[in-house]
């Protein structure tokens, strides 16, 4: 797939990646800044010590500011399943959005269109599985909330580039418990051992965006059970 990529912004904030075969994850972020120019300048400022591989503005324009062959500094302290420090094995994508601090808003149609093309390109190039298309808050739930509850994970799933439960399944009432939720979130990939309550919120931002509280209830357990089944199905294929 051919993508129109702009190259006028380049970040000095990266390390050399030892092996391109290590790439198996995509991490989606929002910029959390007031506009695209401010975000691009920050990502390309040596003093910021932050970067990403790709940036998509509200109009759907795509920049590559760190080459795939290098490790961008986007994930930070992070964990998913048994892997820590996901910078080394991931591609980071920043989406222009003011975020929760500056007037969080819906992502644009043009952003989704470009993001979907980019993710498909990365999946084909690096054989990335859709259970490894993640948000920053998935891998760092106590530090990050992006891309947030307004991000359309269900839309990506409709394009077969992310996971969303096809059906919400009922469970026997006698198995509802805090321990069950802990185990389900852990199986999906969240670092519940160190960040249980924040993992619940990260899960809800992604899969239950209209219910942003820490309550553990029947609805949450049903969704977590159904989501875990989808992750398990995908992982059983490789």
Residues in the chain: 238
Round to whole Å and give the CA distance between 68 and 20: 8
Nearest Cα residue to 95 out of 132, 128, 137, 63: 63
- Dist CA 186 CA 192 (whole Å): 6
Left if phi > 0, otherwise alpha if psi is -120 to 50, otherwise beta: which for 148?
left
The span from the CA of 138 to the CA of 203, in Å, is 7
* C-alpha distance from residue 104 to each of 96, 125, 140, 208, 211 (Å): 11, 32, 19, 17, 17
- The H or E element that residue 155 is part of is helix 153-158
Q: How far is 227 from 64, CA to CA, in rounded Å?
A: 32
Residues with catalytic function: 94
SS3 9: coil
Token pair of 222 as six digits: 């049903």
């Amino acid at each position: 797939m051919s993508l129109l990529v702009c190259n006028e912004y380049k970040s000095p904030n990266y390390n050399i990646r030892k092996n391109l075969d290590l790439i198996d994850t995509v991490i989606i972020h929002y910029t959390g800044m007031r506009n695209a120019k401010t975000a691009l300048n920050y990502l390309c400022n040596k003093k910021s010590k932050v970067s990403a591989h790709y940036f998509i503005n509200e109009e759907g324009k795509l920049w590559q500011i760190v080459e795939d062959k290098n490790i961008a500094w986007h994930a930070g302290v992070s964990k998913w399943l048994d892997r820590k420090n996901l910078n080394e094995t991931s591609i980071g994508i920043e989406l222009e959005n003011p975020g929760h601090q500056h007037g969080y808003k819906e992502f644009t149609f043009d952003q989704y269109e470009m993001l979907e093309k980019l993710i498909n390109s990365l999946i084909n190039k690096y054989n990335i599985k859709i259970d490894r298309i993640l948000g920053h808050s998935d891998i760092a739930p106590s530090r990050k909330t992006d891309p947030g509850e307004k991000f359309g994970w269900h839309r990506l799933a409709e394009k077969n580039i992310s996971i969303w439960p096809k059906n919400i399944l009922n469970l026997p009432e006698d198995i509802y418990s805090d321990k069950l939720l802990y185990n389900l979130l852990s199986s999906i990939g969240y670092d519940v051992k160190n960040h249980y309550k924040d993992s619940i919120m990260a899960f809800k931002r992604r899969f239950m965006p209209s219910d942003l509280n820490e309550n553990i209830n029947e609805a949450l357990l049903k969704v977590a059970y159904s989501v875990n089944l989808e992750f398990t199905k995908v992982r059983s294929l490789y």
